[in-house]
Amino acid sequence: MRPLISPYLLAALAVSLVSATALAQSESAPPRLLADSVADLALPSPRVQTGTPAAGKRVFLRPAGDTTGPAAVLALPSNWSAEEVWPVFVELPGNGGYRDSRGDTCTGLPEDCSLGFGLTAGRDWIWLSLPFLSADGSRIAITWWGDAPEYNPSATLEFWQQILQSVLRNYSGDSQCVVLAGFSRGAIACNALGLHDDRTSQLWTAFLPYSHYDGVRRWPYPDSTPVAAAERLQRLQQRPQFICAEGTQTEITRKWLAGHLEPAAPQFQFHATGFVNHSDHWVLHDVPARRAARAWLQQLRKQRPTLK
């Protein structure tokens, strides 16, 4: 397994003060509604353009030779050039078909992801949104991965491998700085699939799960038990995680980790978004959690071994 880590552990420690300040600020007031806050960013329209990848453009991307199958969505930063090596922000969507009483929705499709845009503002990072696939790999899985009741992730994981390697190879992605992020289902999958096996685990150098965490509660997929999740967590080693959520979920996750890790690992940061909404649109608002996440990403980018 890839030796990860002194640069990224240093990065986690370097922003610990920002983390503590942001958490204190976000937890000092009751969570509020997104509707009561004014966003300072607007999602690009259209969300996906046609054509080939280019700086400042977000397009569908399929494995080589595939013109009709499930697609990922690739956005090269506005300042991209082939002469430089770029960190990669990989994002996983939540479960589709979701709508709640606050008006929060989720389609389950990679084109509707928002974390990467809000946290990078379209600069300095390649933003790659990955789908989950059905068991045979022929279609996008709108909820979970694979097919019920087995929820076999093999086709999904193979697709991720192919797409990510293509981005690293063809668009100057930096294999030494790949952050795996996700919302809701995607947050759970950061560990449940991202740490599923040694081959997959080696793809990532850091993780940013937003809203939910593998092992904290039971879900439909097999091996969603705390014991199985704790076993997967052993593959994390020293890699950093920026854990955030709405409401009080962050504290619940912190307590779960404290009960399953000995001693407490310094690479974890915990942040509350300051909102009650189950929505990835919180990153469109200038709040302490977003500022902390951006500082964390900036440190990861600066500490890349490829820059040494």
Structure tokens at 140: 């996008």
Question: Is 276 part of any domain?
Answer: yes
59 inside domain? yes
Q: What is residue 44's predicted lDDT score, i.e. its pLDDT?
A: 86
Residue by residue, what is the 3-state secondary structure of the chain?
A: CCCCCHHHHHHHHHCHHHHHHHHHHHHCCCCECHHHCCCCCCCCCCCCECCCCCECCEEEECCCCCCCCCCEEEEECCCCCCCCCEEEEEEECCCCCEECCCCCEECCCHHHCCHHHHHHCCCCCEEEECCCECCCCCCECCCCCCCCCCCCCHHHHHHHHHHHHHHHHHCCEEEEEEEEEEECHHHHHHHHCCCCCHHHHCCCCEEEEECCCCCCCCCCCCCCCHHHHHHHHHHHCCCCEEEEECCCHHHHHHHHHHHHCCCCCCCEEEEECCECCCCHHHHHCCCHHHHHHHHHHHHHHHCCHHHC
User: Does 110 reside within a domain?
Assistant: yes
For residue range 60-98, list pLDDT tens digits in order.
999 999 999 999 999 999 999 999 999 999 999 999 999
In a domain, 36, yes or no: no
Regions of the chain with pLDDT less than 50: 1-26
pTM of the model: 0.91
For residue 300, the domain's CATH number is 3.40.50.1820
Number of domains in the chain: 1
Structure confidence by residue, pLDDT tens digits, 31-43: 899 999 999 999 9
12 domain residue, yes or no? no
Structure confidence at residue 262 (pLDDT):
62
pLDDT of residue 14: 42
For position 263, what pLDDT does the model report?
56
293-307 pLDDT, tens digit each: 999 999 999 998 766
Q: Does residue 207 form part of some domain?
A: yes
Domain containing residue 180? 42-307
